[in-house]
């Protein structure tokens, strides 16, 4: 992997997009995870204005500390970086009071509220993007965005551009190491931070990112469950199930095309 060339390529791609669309710069949410840390660093490298938003919602202190550490590192290295903390906890709590029906399935309630967190953050990002003429930069990697659909539709999936969606999680880590992202971020277990605790992505998914990268390759090579056994079979099933049920997240919105003869 040619780290310098890839970093420069993405940086130039980001800068070209903003300039060609007559916008001013970028905004994104900083979670304290590796994906948002990498994307914000690449955006900062363009020299264009970058607004980093911290948007805690009952966030564990470790997440907040990592996010703040990264933002401070960005500011010390790039003069074009600004930041704001928008605490959405009270807003989320009010929504929860209105939305919850105690007769509903608790597991579905928990998932619905997790997705609500992501959508509140998306709304906040677009508020500031609209005020300042900024592009909302996405932070999903290839496995999340086009492999298992591990993102919230119209939440963290609601973005203008995504500079790392062609990088696997392993490649994200490689490029982040190269760009000197803080070790505490690189060493932390990946988590979406949507449940107010420290549950990891692996705990939610049932497989590690290297395992999912292997399964993605096997699936794209048209291999089937009959080709595997043991742990490989288990991981392949996890990948296949999530890939197939979440395809709607990355496909264009279906449009009902009315036959012309019906319009006459």
Model confidence band, residue 198 (pLDDT cutoffs 50, 70, 90): confident
Is residue 191 domain-resident? yes
* Residue 17 falls inside a structural domain: yes
Among 141, 155, 154, residue whose Cα is nearest residue 212 = 141
pLDDT at position 193: 78
User: Which residue in this structure is represented by tokens 């291999």?
Assistant: 223
Tokens representing residue 208 in the block: 């590690």
Instruction: Provide the token pair at 82.
Output: 């600004």
- Whether residue 68 has pLDDT greater than 90: yes
Structure tokens at 252: 């264009």
The proportion of the chain whose per-residue pLDDT surpasses 90, expressed as a percent, equals 86
The SS3 assignment for 135 reads strand
DSSP for 23-50, written as a single string: --EEEEE--SSHHHHHHHHHHHHT-S-E
Q: How many domains does the chain have?
A: 1
- 244 found inside a domain: no
Cβ-contact 230, 190 below 8 angstroms: no
Q: Is residue 94 part of a domain?
A: yes
119 in any annotated domain: yes
Amino acid 234: pLDDT: 97
Closest CA to 96 of 70, 115, 77: 115
- Residue 37's pLDDT band (boundaries 50, 70, 90)? very high
Please write the tens of the pLDDT for every residue from 208-235. Answer: 999 999 999 999 999 999 999 999 999 9
Instruction: Name the average pLDDT for the chain.
Output: 95
CA distances (Å), 180 to each of 83, 174, 217, in order? 20, 10, 29
46 within some domain:
yes
The pTM assigned to this predicted structure is 0.94
Locate 160 and state its tokens.
Answer: 């203008």
Q: Provide the domain limits for residue 172.
A: 3-205
CB crowding 3-22: b at 16 or more within 10 Å, else e: eeebbeebbeebbebbeeee
User: For residue 143, is it within any domain?
Assistant: yes
Tell me if 215 is assigned to some domain: no
For residue 141, the domain's CATH number is 3.40.50.620
């Amino acid at each position: 992997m040619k780290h310098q060339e890839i970093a420069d390529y993405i940086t130039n791609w980001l800068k070209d997009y903003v300039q060609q669309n007559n916008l001013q710069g970028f905004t994104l949410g900083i979670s304290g995870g590796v994906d948002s840390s990498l994307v914000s660093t690449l955006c900062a490298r363009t020299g264009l204005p970058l607004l980093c938003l911290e948007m805690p919602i009952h966030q564990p202190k470790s997440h907040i500390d990592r996010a703040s550490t990264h933002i401070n590192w960005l500011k010390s290295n790039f003069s074009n970086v600004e930041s704001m903390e928008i605490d959405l906890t009270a807003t989320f709590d009010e929504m929860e009071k209105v939305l919850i029906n105690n007769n509903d399935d608790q597991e579905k309630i928990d998932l619905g509220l997790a997705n609500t967190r992501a959508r509140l953050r998306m709304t906040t990002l677009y508020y500031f993007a609209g005020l300042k003429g900024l592009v909302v930069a996405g932070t999903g990697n290839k496995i999340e965005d086009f492999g298992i659909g591990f993102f919230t539709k119209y939440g963290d999936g609601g973005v203008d551009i995504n500079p790392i969606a062609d990088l696997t999680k392993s490649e994200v880590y490689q490029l982040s190491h190269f760009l000197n992202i803080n070790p505490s971020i690189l060493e932390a277990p990946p988590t979406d931070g949507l449940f107010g605790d420290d549950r990891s992505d692996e705990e939610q998914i049932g497989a590690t990112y290297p395992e999912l990268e292997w399964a993605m390759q096997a699936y794209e090579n048209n291999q089937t469950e009959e080709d595997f056994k043991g742990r490989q079979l288990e991981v392949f099933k996890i990948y296949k199930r999530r890939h197939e049920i979440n395809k709607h997240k990355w496909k264009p919105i279906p449009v009902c095309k009315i036959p012309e003869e019906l319009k006459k």
